[in-house]
Structure 1
Amino acid sequence: MASGLAFPSIFLLESHLTEDELESLKRQIRSLTTDPGKTDVFLGKLSNRERAQFELRRLGVVTVEKRQSRTRASARADTDSAPNLEESPAKRRKTGARAPSPIVISGSSEDDEPVQIVPPPKETDTIKVVKLAWFTESVARGEVLPLSDYTVYEGRRLLAEPAIMPSPAHVSRAEGILKRAQADAAGSQQPQGGKPHFMQARRKKFDGMPPPRPSLTRMTTSEKERVENLPPIPEFLHTTYSCQRPTPVHGPNDKFVEALKTIRLARQLMGDKIGIRAYSTTIATIAAYPYELSTPSEVSRLPGCGPKTAELFREFQNNGGHVREADDDEADAKLSVLRLFYNIWGVAETTARSFYNRGWRDLDDVIDYGWKELTRVQQIGVKYYDELQELLTRAQVEAIADRVLEHANSIHDGFQMVIAGGYRRGKALSGDVDIIISHSDESVTHLLIRRLVLSLEKAGLVTHTLTLSTANSERGQEAVSWKGNAPNHGLDSTASGGVGFDTLDKALVVWQEPMEPADQEGDKAGETQPNTNPHRRVDIIVTPWKTVGCAVLGWSGGTTFQRDLRRYCKNERALRFDSSGARSRVDGSPVDLEGYYGNDPATDMLTAERRVFEALELEFRPPNERCTG
């Protein structure tokens, strides 16, 4: 029993815990506290440092990460080997036992008394964020296990601000100071001779870290007049779910959105997960705003935006459509290399940083020093790098999709097809081709992907098959099972790779159109010329008819649209949704969103998609209104 173990004081982080888990833990943890300021151990379902820091900030716990210090033995060795020099006064000040003297800050005029500030102690208490497994395994073993093996983040708690100790004479002036402050607030003129008294000695110091600079959105008289005549914020923008908004492929603020996307990509390449989410929310809001932005104040009033975004827009306005941070990111040498690696097929941002940290700076370095370590997908991505960066026109996308459908129908008549991804959202150019095919007879789609890819290979259309998954067929073409509050592993995304990549039967292939007979003229020796048509990336997805609407919806929205669709289903409908279907979060049972099991199957794939919107009580948004970025 947990009650018999001497656990330290624990604060429970509730994120990612189900209600049942939360209640069970509250009953078991006898040393549980609800005050984050009075505990040194934070317990939760966390696996990375960034999330731990985010949870602490959300609770108002300010910390600085604790660095691993040297061992005492190494410190002694350094002392023994160091020259025997007399300690400098600065050194004695750091290591001496005397308490620090108060810092005295003079007033702004001769009449002001000095203010004494007592600095906070250098060392503050250490806090740790530990995995839930520490508690559960301790209970299972009947002993409190060491925290070190389960610690996600360790930091020092920082004091919010040093205490200000006024002198007796200064206390007597308090009433006058307050009166002057009130006069300033009422719009009186600032007294000459210095800053207001109540602003003296207001410098925060976070253990060597510079204080954050406040963001101020300044407003001119003309701006104030424009603000008074701004259009009302559309009602749909007040929702937190971008899947409830119409977001067109092109809007009145596209150029500013592109600058924000440049900054977001830089945050992504540098591993700033919180920044990625924040910028994604901002981008989705501005992309859905139907009016051309005119002032920073207009930006700051939008949900998901704030002073930071407003200042970026001010730069955008004043600098002829340029944002300094975005321009700096574009010109940054390191980010340029990371973008190069990130654009390799099969390389995510983590792998791109790994390549860079090894000292690699171009594709030749990857080939020379790491070729054998690359996956087959990555090797193909490097080999055909330039060709795979070429974008496809809508006509080229349609031609490839028609060939795939032709081969599917040669195996069995009656297949239907939808071209998903950016093409379906209305983009003029696409980086790859996403094709969803299905058949009203479920037995026909079972293991079809193998036969279809083989047919395309024999026709010389597919040169490489990089991934072939039959996971959906192997589980009886049912929706992915619900695994409690585990991370969602079932989303198919149009972003590279997506999340939960093996949800549906699919194949990732390299496509190359055959040479036309007129282009295959042989040379004098009778040999034909090599195929010079560019290689293309093609994703072929096969879905059973009972969840075809979920598949089409799951592969047709922008990244933020898909993220918010899953959040909506979780928070508002208690469902786990992905491209293979939906399941109840209450009992894990499949949920029929398309009327298939009611003996009323949809007649076509797009009708099935509309039914999913209706079942989720969402207003239908055509694909060209799902462009959240």
Structure 2
Amino acid sequence: MSTRSRFLSRNVSSQNEMTDSRSSAANLHHHEPSRARNLDWSQLPPVYVLAAHLSINEQHDVEDVLSSGGAPLTYDVKEANLVLGNISKKRRAKSELQWKGVRMEDINSEDGLHASRSSPASGDSKQTKKRRRLANARDGRGQQALEVFDSSTASETEEDQVDIKPMSQLSLSRVSTLSTVDSSSTIEFKELSPPRLTPEAFANKVKVVKLDWLNDSLSAGTLQNLEPYTIYEARLLPAVEAAVKSLPVVKSVGTKPDSVINKSLHMKEGGIRDIMERANADPKPAVNRYNKRDRIKYAAKQDIVGKSFSSSTQAANRRHTQSVTRPTRLLHQTTSEYDEAVSRALPPPPDWVKGNKIYACERATPLDSPNKDFIAKLKKIRLARLLTLDEIGVRAYSTSIASIAAYPYPIQSTREILALPGCDQKIAYLFHEYQTTDHLLAVDDFEADSALKVLREFYEIWGVGAKTAREFYYDKGWRDLDDIVEHGWKSLSRVQQIGLKYYDEFLLKIPRSEVESITATITDHAKLVTDSDVETIIVGGYRRGKSESGDVDVILSHRNEAMTYNLVDRVVKSLEKEIWITHTLTLNLTNTKRNQQPLPISTATLGRHGFDTLDKALVVWQDPNWPTKKADLAMNPKAKNPNPHRRVDIIISPWRTVGCAVAGWTSGTTYQRDLRRYAKYRKGWKFDSSGVRERGTGRWVDLEGWTDERTRCKSWQEAERKVFEGMGLVYQEPWNRCTG
């Protein structure tokens, strides 16, 4: 089933229950401390609270209740024998532990699991799906209401959609009403045998228990039996042996007995012991593992421990917490690499390599690189750095990738890598690894990492960045798109809701023919609201020569400045009228509001905007026509349009700076970045798609000759070339700006 189909099959009415539950859960700590202290939680084994389907405040409230009663709370799930969670399915419980790196195996004995068959309100009976229409589900532009499934009648086959109680039911604040217990949703405490909480019951085991157990224990004033609430039980497996073996022990006269020798891998005898003793004598910050922590930062840091795609800073920080140490990466070079014969075999370096030109805008970067396979692997490492919020690493890898992509020969030696501007020993090592093994360990780690798989899926939602994706995963505890729809739909922005609704369709690539068809329609409507002299330029990946594009970027301009004033609003309204545009996500009139003047009001405004300040609209596009439309509507008046939804950006540029707009929106991401860096450090200017300004005075720099009618550009192609010329750069054709 596609993601869109799954989306349409979700019952978002449960969001009302989840929203109402937040208020009761928020007051939990006002009601529970005194009662929690009356219960002795100290007999419990190490307890871990799952973040799934709990806000960070709700999780902290549960942890407060446990810690106030003396429970041995832990923030490392690998140390826990008892895991509490707001989940109800064995499969989800097992997945949560696997995601967090717990090594275990299922217990198949008859008395091992009592999970959902004996758990209260387990909902094992198979129920049929009941479709209903979401009331008032039309957006501001009259969109069709969504068809969704009612979660109250959802099938048991849909994971985690049944038997998860809203927090209004799970709230611990209900302990104030002890007189009655609903037998349909809870257990009669008097019929339960005393809980089995002896150490033997948890030896080398981990149990995942519903949060209901904690609520019912508080309600009854005594710890309840765990078995009816247990949804998963597993046998813990020993940790993987350390990669670094302990050094041989050299015994000498007068050594201590083995029984009192420290069992650390390295603290044995002789000089090694002396070194470690001195290191242990150094002051260390006191860390209490039971103190509250920033769950997002802590969990995110733990996720990258031991992973080869992490940054050097992260690697340095993890040396004190990691017991498994990989060997130091050394670049092995043989003397043959320096032989004269080998040197003669290498191709002559390009001029930009000889001149050490560090900016991508100073060299040609073709669409197809002879080193594209190696570049593809580097891009995966860069994505890993992006998802772990390593901004420095992302920029460094982008620079290296752009440099390698511009190199016109297949790379044969690490010497070639080290000679490229922006490539260092790290990239040379990666190439050596790739050259000898045909793969990269960092890429293998990235593709196998369960957390990054989920983060990548979230990151691909239109309107969700890397930081937001991490909040979804670590703060909200969401693990797939269904979790977002079921538990967080109302918390999403409108752009994110649209991005999730059309998730699968937005991932589809757009062929060049369709890009041209969409542009032709936009041009027709632009001429309709202006005149036939309007100029339409397709930019982005299409102009760089890509066979398929992720979205469509179109610039509209006119030699008469009055025609571009508020043009984007007029064009969008015309397209909406004929239902080419189904959603308008953003509509910016920044340039119109400043009367289309490139000169900022003051120098204080410099640097306070992003890529540009042009008028633009980000819209969702769908062709309203399809071949069998008449026949389909005749059979079913509510037949849906099968054409995929597309992302389209419509940008408006005044003619005086159209060259800057075309140069900025055409070039690859790193090329755009280096255009701005080059203008800043070489010229003292600020470049963006709305024009060029002096950083010291804020004065507009007229690179395109607009102020003199004799030098005014006759075409946008001429204007773009003048921008390169004015910046002192050699003009590069669009297909030579593919930096990746």
Q: What is the TM-score of this pair, normalised by structure 2?
A: 0.56
How far residue 491 of structure 1 moved from its aligned partner, in angstroms, is 4.5
Is the Cα contact below 8 Å between 1:248 and 1:627 reproduced in 2?
yes
1-side partners of 2:706 and 2:426: how far apart? Answer: 48
Do the aligned partners of residues 293 and 483 (structure 1) sit closer, same or farther apart at CA in structure 2, a change above 3 Å counting?
A: farther
2-side partners of 1:376 and 1:588: how far apart? Answer: 36
Do the aligned partners of residues 301 and 219 (structure 1) sit closer, same or farther apart at CA in structure 2, a change above 3 Å counting?
A: farther
Identity %: 46
How far residue 589 of structure 1 moved from its aligned partner, in angstroms, is 1.1
2-side partners of 1:483 and 1:596: how far apart? Answer: 22
Matches within 5 A, 1:415-454: 415-454=534-573
**1:576 has 2:686 as partner:** yes
1:105 counterpart letter in structure 2 = G
1:421 counterpart letter in structure 2 = G
2:585 aligns to what SS in structure 1? strand
Do the aligned partners of residues 486 and 286 (structure 1) sit closer, same or farther apart at CA in structure 2, a change above 3 Å counting?
A: farther
Deviates more, 1:333-342 or 1:509-518: 509-518
User: 1:559 corresponds to which residue?
Assistant: 669
User: 2:473 corresponds to which residue?
Assistant: 356
User: 2:588 corresponds to which residue?
Assistant: 469
**1:607 has 2:718 as partner:** yes
How far residue 519 of structure 1 moved from its aligned partner, in angstroms, is 3.0
User: 1:628 corresponds to which residue?
Assistant: 739
1:591 counterpart letter in structure 2 = V
**1:617 has 2:617 as partner:** no
User: 1:378 corresponds to which residue?
Assistant: 496
Q: Which runs of 5 or more structure 1 residues have no equivalent in the other structure? A: 1-76, 79-92, 95-102, 108-113, 126-203, 493-499
How far residue 271 of structure 1 moved from its aligned partner, in angstroms, is 0.6
How far residue 399 of structure 1 moved from its aligned partner, in angstroms, is 0.8
Do the aligned partners of residues 434 and 569 (structure 1) sit closer, same or farther apart at CA in structure 2, a change above 3 Å counting?
A: same
**1:105 has 2:220 as partner:** no
Is the Cα contact below 8 Å between 2:606 and 2:698 reproduced in 1?
no
Question: Which of 520, 536, 546 is the matching residue for 1:402?
Answer: 520
Deviates more, 1:430-439 or 1:556-565: 556-565
User: 2:384 corresponds to which residue?
Assistant: 266
Question: Which of 269, 282, 286 is the matching residue for 1:122?
Answer: 282
How far residue 595 of structure 1 moved from its aligned partner, in angstroms, is 0.2
Matches within 5 A, 1:38-77: none
Q: Deviations over 1:56-84 (max 9, x none)?
A: xxxxxxxxxxxxxxxxxxxxx99xxxxxx
Do the aligned partners of residues 282 and 217 (structure 1) sit closer, same or farther apart at CA in structure 2, a change above 3 Å counting?
A: farther
**1:218 has 2:338 as partner:** no
1-side partners of 2:579 and 2:417: how far apart? Answer: 53
Is the Cα contact below 8 Å between 1:491 and 1:579 reproduced in 2?
no
Q: How many residues align?
A: 450
Question: Which of 340, 346, 349 is the matching residue for 2:463?
Answer: 346
How far residue 307 of structure 1 moved from its aligned partner, in angstroms, is 2.1
2:582 aligns to what SS in structure 1? strand
1:250 aligns to what SS in structure 2? coil
Question: Which of 573, 583, 597 is the matching residue for 1:478?
Answer: 597
Question: Which of 327, 330, 337 is the matching residue for 2:447?
Answer: 330
2:666 aligns to what SS in structure 1? coil
Is the Cα contact below 8 Å between 1:482 and 1:585 reproduced in 2?
no
1:232 counterpart letter in structure 2 = P
Is the Cα contact below 8 Å between 2:626 and 2:643 reproduced in 1?
no
Is the Cα contact below 8 Å between 1:271 and 1:350 reproduced in 2?
yes
**1:456 has 2:567 as partner:** no
How far residue 316 of structure 1 moved from its aligned partner, in angstroms, is 1.6
Deviates more, 1:433-442 or 1:299-308: 299-308
Q: What is the TM-score of this pair, normalised by structure 1?
A: 0.65
Is the Cα contact below 8 Å between 2:367 and 2:738 reproduced in 1?
yes
2:570 counterpart letter in structure 1 = R
How far residue 520 of structure 1 moved from its aligned partner, in angstroms, is 2.4
2-side partners of 1:208 and 1:222: how far apart? Answer: 38
How far residue 579 of structure 1 moved from its aligned partner, in angstroms, is 0.5
Q: Deviations over 1:204-236 (max 9, x none)?
A: 998778899353232363785434432232121
How far residue 451 of structure 1 moved from its aligned partner, in angstroms, is 0.7
How far residue 309 of structure 1 moved from its aligned partner, in angstroms, is 1.3
2:421 counterpart letter in structure 1 = P
2-side partners of 1:505 and 1:115: how far apart? Answer: 65
Q: Deviations over 1:580-616 (max 9, x none)?
A: 0011112111111100012232111111111111111
Question: Which of 284, 303, 310 is the matching residue for 2:402?
Answer: 284
User: 2:249 corresponds to which residue?
Assistant: none
Do the aligned partners of residues 484 and 261 (structure 1) sit closer, same or farther apart at CA in structure 2, a change above 3 Å counting?
A: farther
1-side partners of 2:398 and 2:601: how far apart? Answer: 27
User: 1:138 corresponds to which residue?
Assistant: none
Is the Cα contact below 8 Å between 2:382 and 2:398 reproduced in 1?
yes
2-side partners of 1:554 and 1:490: how far apart? Answer: 15
User: 1:391 corresponds to which residue?
Assistant: 509
2:370 aligns to what SS in structure 1? coil
Q: Deviations over 1:109-137 (max 9, x none)?
A: xxxxx999965962499xxxxxxxxxxxx
Deviates more, 1:293-302 or 1:410-419: 293-302
1:215 counterpart letter in structure 2 = L
1-side partners of 2:336 and 2:733: how far apart? Answer: 41
1:601 counterpart letter in structure 2 = R
Do the aligned partners of residues 483 and 328 (structure 1) sit closer, same or farther apart at CA in structure 2, a change above 3 Å counting?
A: farther
2-side partners of 1:341 and 1:439: how far apart? Answer: 40
How far residue 360 of structure 1 moved from its aligned partner, in angstroms, is 0.9
Q: Which runs of 5 or more structure 2 residues have no equivalent in the other structure? A: 1-68, 71-260, 263-268, 286-316
2-side partners of 1:267 and 1:417: how far apart? Answer: 37
1:105 aligns to what SS in structure 2? helix
1:575 counterpart letter in structure 2 = W
User: 1:236 corresponds to which residue?
Assistant: 352
Is the Cα contact below 8 Å between 1:576 and 1:583 reproduced in 2?
yes
1-side partners of 2:461 and 2:326: how far apart? Answer: 39
1-side partners of 2:418 and 2:675: how far apart? Answer: 25
1:594 aligns to what SS in structure 2? coil
1:521 aligns to what SS in structure 2? helix
Q: Deviations over 1:296-335 (max 9, x none)?
A: 2322232211222122112222223x22211321232111
2:631 aligns to what SS in structure 1? coil
1:557 counterpart letter in structure 2 = S
